[in-house]
Amino acid sequence: GVGKTTLAIHAAHALRADFADGILWANAAITNPLDIAQSWAQAYGYDFSGLSDLESRAAALRNVLAAKQVLLIFDDVIDAANVRPLLPGGAQCRVLLTTRNHDVASALNAHSRQPAELALEAGVDLLELVVGAARVHADPTAAQRICAIVEGLPLAVEIVAQRLKSRPRQSLGNMVARLEDSAHRLDLHISDRAIRAAFEVSWAQLDEEQKHIFSTMGVFEGRSFAVPALAYVAERDEAEVEEIVWSLQALSLVGADGGAR
C-alpha cells in the first residue's frame, strides 16, 4: 500500500524516451515466467509457444532482447526464482522491479529503494488534488486528521480521497469518525482497490508462526515494542521471535524505529 506499482508506472512514463525499443511490463505476482516470456516475445513479433520449458523460452527471450534498448518492469515480485531466468543479458536493457520482500531484492542483487509514507502536508495535498480544494479548505483539521489516522499510507489516502470524491455530500469530519473505528479501517475500498486486499497478499505468504507473532503484536496497539516484550506475550523463545520479526521486516510488515525496537 505504499505505492510501489504507482511509482513504477510513473517511472515508466518518465523513462520512456530513454528506451527506443519500448518498456515491457509484467505482474510477477500472478503471471508465471513462461507466460511472461511469451507475452514479451509477442511484443516483438515472435512466438515461443513451441518452447515448452522455461530454460529454452528464457534463452530465446534473451536473444530477442540482446540488441534492444528496453526497460523490463517486474511488478510485485514474490519469488526471485520466477524472475531470475528472465533477466536480460543485453547491455542496453535495464530492469525495474517492485516487491514487498527485501530478501527478494537482495537475492536479485538489486539496488533497493524504500518508498516513504506521505508526509502530512503531502497527504493533504493528495486529498486536495482528488477531492477539491474547497472541501479540504473548509475543514483543514479533519483533512490533517485523516492523513494522520492512516499514517501517510499512500494507498489508504488515495482510497479515502476517492471515496470522498464519489460522495460529495459526505463531510471530511464524517470520514474522520469512520476512520476512528479501527475495526473497519481495513475494509476501506474503492472499486477494485482495497487496503485489506493489499494486506492479504502479504498475509498469505506467512507461515503459522509468523502469523502468530504478527497477530500478537496487536497487543501493543501500534506502539513501539522490544523483542523481549513480544516474546513474553507470545510465549515463545526470544531468539526465535527475533528471527521471525526480522522476516516480517523483510516483508515490509513491520519496521524498526532505529533503535532496538
Q: How far is it, in rounded angstroms, from Cα 205 to Cα 198?
A: 12
Q: Which residues pair with 95 in a beta bridge?
A: 72
Whether 187 and 196 have beta carbons less than 8 Å apart is answered as: yes
**Nearest Cα to Cα of residue 127 among 86, 162, 93:** 162
pLDDT at 145: 92
**CATH code given to domain 4-107:** 3.40.50.300
Characterise 144 by phi-psi region: left (phi > 0), alpha (psi -120 to 50), beta (else). alpha
Percent of the chain with pLDDT over 90: 41
Question: Cα angle at 4 between 89 and 92, to 5 degrees?
Answer: 20
* 192: pLDDT strictly greater than 80: no
Residue corresponding to grid cell 470520514: 175
The predicted model gives 224-233 an average pLDDT of 89
Q: How far is it, in rounded angstroms, from Cα 138 to Cα 172?
A: 9
115-159 pLDDT tens trace = 777 788 988 998 998 899 999 999 999 999 999 888 888 878 888
Whether 188 and 211 have beta carbons less than 8 Å apart is answered as: no
Residue 10: band (very low, low, confident or very high) from pLDDT cuts 50, 70, 90 = confident
Please, where are the H alpha helices in 79-221?
A: 102-107, 120-131, 133-138, 140-149, 154-166, 172-180, 195-203, 208-216
The predicted model gives 199-206 an average pLDDT of 75
Lowest mean pLDDT among 62-66, 153-157, 158-162: 153-157
Whether 149 and 176 have beta carbons less than 8 Å apart is answered as: yes
What's the grid cell of residue 206? 506467512
The predicted model gives 51-71 an average pLDDT of 94
Q: How far is it, in rounded angstroms, from Cα 199 to Cα 104?
A: 18
pLDDT at 81: 93
37-52 pLDDT tens trace = 999 999 999 999 999 9
